[in-house]
Amino acid sequence: MSGLPRPRDGRIHPSAFAGSQLVQVQISTRHGHLSDASQQRITAKAEKLLRIFDRLTAIEIIVDLSDSSAPRVDVKVSAEHKHDFVAHDQSDELMTSVDTVVHRLEQQLRKYKEKVQERHRSPDARRQAETSEADEQ
C-alpha cells in the first residue's frame, strides 16, 4: 500500500480504494486441517466470483473433512441488499468440489445479475407485456 496517497494524519483516503475489490473470504474446516497453499488456492477460486458480480460483500467457505475420501464443500456468498447464494458439493477430490461449487455459484450470480439488469432496463416493456397478457386472458 506504499503507492496509495496518504493525508498528513497517516490515514489512507477512501478514494484510494476506488475500483478495488474488497470482499471478506472466510475459510473454515471441520474435522481436519487445510494447508496454507490449499487455502490460498480456494480463496483465489472464490474471488473469481467478483468478475461476474462485483457487489459481493462476503464469501464463507466450509470444508468438511469428516469423510476423508470425499470432502464436502459448502459455500455461502453474501451480496449487497441481503441476497445470499449457496452451493454444496461432495466429490473424491477437494479442488474438484471447489471448482463445482464455484461453477454453480457463477450460474446463480449470472442469473441474478440478468434478472436485476432486465428489471432496470425497460420498465415500459414490462408494463406492455403485463397488459398484453391481461388482455389475452
Q: How many domains does the chain divide into?
A: 1
Is residue 127 a part of any domain in this protein? Answer: no
In CATH, what number is assigned to the domain containing residue 117?
3.30.160.100
Render pLDDT for 66-122 as a digit per residue (tens, 0 to 9).
988 999 999 999 988 878 999 999 999 999 999 999 999 999 999 998 888 888 776
Is residue 16 a part of any domain in this protein? Answer: no
Q: Where are the alpha helices (DSSP H) in 14-122?
A: 36-47, 94-121
First to last CA, the chain: 62
- The pTM of this model reads 0.71
Name the residue range of residue 61's domain: 22-121
| pLDDT at position 130 | 65
| pLDDT at position 20 | 46
Of 11-20, 57-66, 119-128, the range with the lowest mean pLDDT is 11-20
Confidence of residue 1 (pLDDT cuts 50, 70, 90): very low
Distances (CA, A) of 84 to 12, 55, 77, 93: 31, 12, 6, 26
Is residue 7 a part of any domain in this protein? Answer: no
Instruction: Give the chain's mean pLDDT.
Output: 82
